[in-house]
Amino acid sequence: MVKIQNIAVLTSGGDAPGMNACVRAVVRAAIYHGIGAYGVIDGFNGLIKNQFKKLDYHDVSNIIQRGGTILGTARCPDFLHKKERKKAFINLQALKIDALIIIGGDGSFKGASIFSHEFDLPIIGIPATIDNDITGTDYTIGFDTALNTIIDAVDKIRDTASSHHRVFLVEVMGNNSGILALNAAAASGAEEVFMPERNEDLQKFEEKLRRALAANKSSIIIVAEGDQIGGAKEVFAYLKDKNLSDKVRVAVLGHMQRGGSPSFLDRLNATLFGEQAVVELLQGNTNLYIGMHNNKVIASDINHTQVKSPPKNMDYLKIIRKLSVY
Ligand code: ATP
Whether 267 is in a domain gets the answer yes
Same domain, 62 and 117: yes
By residue range, what is the domain housing residue 280?
Answer: 6-142+262-306
Whether 319 is in a domain gets the answer no
Same domain, 246 and 124: no
Same domain, 248 and 180: yes
What local confidence, expressed as pLDDT, does residue 57 receive?
Answer: 98
The pLDDT confidence band at residue 76, using thresholds 50, 70 and 90, is: very high
Same domain, 186 and 279: no
Number of domains in the chain: 2
Whether 317 is in a domain gets the answer no
Mutational test site, ligand 1, from 11, 48, 73, 75, max ligand atoms within 8 Å of CB:
75
Mutational test site, ligand 1, from 12, 116, 141, max ligand atoms within 8 Å of CB:
12
Same domain, 76 and 212: no
Same domain, 138 and 271: yes
Mean pLDDT within 134-156 = 97
List, in order, residues 6 or more apart from 278 with CB less than 8 Å away. Answer: 7, 26, 29, 30, 33, 35, 101
Whether 313 is in a domain gets the answer no
The pLDDT confidence band at residue 309, using thresholds 50, 70 and 90, is: low
Whether 312 is in a domain gets the answer no
Gap from CA of 246 to ligand 1 centroid (Å)? 42
Same domain, 16 and 93: yes
Gap from CA of 203 to ligand 1 centroid (Å)? 38
224-256: buried (b, 16+ CB within 10 Å) or exposed (e) per residue? bbbbebbbbebbbebbeeeebbebbbbbbbeee
Evaluate if residue 71 carries a pLDDT over 90: yes
User: pLDDT above 70 covers what percent of the chain?
Assistant: 100
227-266 pLDDT, tens digit each:
999 999 999 999 999 999 999 999 999 999 999 999 999 9
CATH number at 151 reads: 3.40.50.460
The pLDDT confidence band at residue 311, using thresholds 50, 70 and 90, is: confident
Q: How far is CA 315 from the centre of its chain?
A: 22
Same domain, 274 and 221: no
CATH number at 77 reads: 3.40.50.450
What local confidence, expressed as pLDDT, does residue 305 receive?
Answer: 80
* Catalytic machinery residues: 131
**Single residue among 222, 239, 258 that ends a domain in this structure:** 258
What local confidence, expressed as pLDDT, does residue 324 receive?
Answer: 87
Whether 323 is in a domain gets the answer no
Same domain, 254 and 266: no
